[in-house]
Chains A and B, each alone.
Chain A
Amino acid sequence: MLLCEVASRLEAEELVRPEDPEVEVPSAVAADLLSDILASRKEQFIILTGLISPQVIRTAEVVGALAVVLVRGKHPTQEMIGLARAHGIPLYTTMLPLFESCVRLAPLVQRVRA
């Protein structure tokens, strides 16, 4: 799936624009624990989370996440937006809860695997 497809599937608002909206997103990690994201063995993924803190962006930077999507209508602080800009990490927010977001993305991920 492409990053721009993810955004439109999730009806997400774009807060930090991706350099390449057409970047291929092979998978996603959905977690409300940064520890889980840091321990994930996946390599190319976007992060879906309900957590709001600069650590979300720092974690995304460390694992090289392709983008961060904040769920449940969570809005980041300006600090987070600034951090994401500085590190070139695309940032989105969606009104959908975490589970619903995963359900919407599942068909796209399966299409990649098929």
Chain B
Amino acid sequence: MIGTANGFSVAHELVYTLKVRDAMRTDVITVTPENTLREVQVLLREHRFSGTPVLADGRLVGIVSIEDIINALDRGHISQRVADWMTRSVVTIQDNMPLSRAVEFFQRYPYGRLPVLDSGGRLCGILTPSDIIARLMVELNRLAEDAARRETDLMARAGTRVTDGSELKMDFRVSAGDFDNAGIASARIKAVLKERGVDARIVRRAAIATYEAETNIVIHSMGGKIHTAINAERVLVEAIDWGPGIEDVEKAMQPGFSTASELVRAMGFGAGMGLPNIQKCADRFEIHSTVGSGTHLRIELDLRSAVPQGGE
């Protein structure tokens, strides 16, 4: 997810909003200047760390890395005190800094870990590049989970439902330009029909016709609404908008005719197939449009026949 176009930009944003303290580990193992390098070696091996901070009276005074230990083994001073061989000039980072700062540090310095200090200058954690990656992955997943939850909520709430005699009615608002929510009405209608055990092919045609109507309102109109009425015999979908209306309806109905902008085309719409597709999916279809006042689609599908009709 990190390093590729979209995942990268989200991760990029996240490193600026998350703080060092959000990603650091707090279960820090420390040593004192009085410990021997041999003791540190055992500790690092046990915990599989590549280095450990050195504290004196709670203050960070140095760091011992795995390289220091290897050198000590090489040169024979492994049983000597940490105080004599630790690295004293330690690069540290504040816990309230943005993670981007830590990323910058890891690029600038050759260190694989940064001790983290709180505002009082005390050691409160340690940060490695893999801590940052782990945190970003968790955060990216959380964003996806949030989106999933929003969608599930939306599906549960969308549209006002009233049962009128034997008819279930659902109404949805569709706002101009609101691409992200185009598809809510169709998904809801699909779910209701499916729940009622309607033939899958009919459900599909109803969903597609509704979606085409929703996207047309989003793309071409100043806003509108979708009315649905479902009974045992049929599903009726009405798409009504408040203008600008279609000048030449016959032309608009021709496959391939579209006035969609380049931007809309780049999003994958605007092939001029929507209205013909609605007609193909519907058992009965009417379109009325008045320039200046709006467009009204009436889409009806029989729920009882499993035989596809229209252009199929």
Contact = CB atoms under 8 A, between A and B. Distances in A.
Interface of A: 32-36, 38-39, 41, 43, 49, 51-56, 58-59, 61-64, 73-83, 85-87
Contacts of A74: 5-6
B134 interface: no
B146 interface: yes
A1 B178 CA distance: 37
Interface residues of B, number: 48
B88 interface: no
Given A82-B146, A86-B148, A64 B273 contact: no
A55 B270 CA distance: 13
A9 to B, nearest CB: 21
A76 B7 CA distance: 7
A45 B203 CA distance: 16
Given A35-B273, A86-B152, A75 B201 contact: no
B268 A56 contact: yes
A62 B201 contact: no
A38 B273 contact: yes
Contact of B269 (A34, A49, A54, A73): A34
A74 B143 CA distance: 18
Given A55-B182, A77-B10, A63 B204 contact: yes
A63 B208 contact: yes
B140 interface: yes
Nearest to B203: A64
Main secondary structure of the interface of B (DSSP, over half): helix
B99 interface: no
Nearest to B183: A58
Contacts of B6: 52, 74-77
B228 interface: no
Nearest to B187: A61
B84 to A, nearest CB: 50
A95 B144 CA distance: 22
A49 B5 CA distance: 16
Interface string B1-36: 100111110100000000000000000000000000
A75 B208 contact: no
Interface string B265-299: 00111111110110010000000000000000000
B187 A62 contact: yes
B182 A33 contact: no
Given A85-B144, A87-B151, A36 B200 contact: no
A81 B190 contact: no
28 contacts: A32-B268, A33-B271, A35-B271, A35-B273, A36-B273, A39-B273, A49-B268, A53-B179, A54-B180, A55-B179, A55-B182, A55-B215, A55-B269, A59-B211, A62-B183, A62-B187, A62-B210, A64-B203, A64-B207, A74-B5, A74-B6, A77-B6, A79-B147, A80-B147, A81-B147, A82-B143, A82-B144, A85-B145
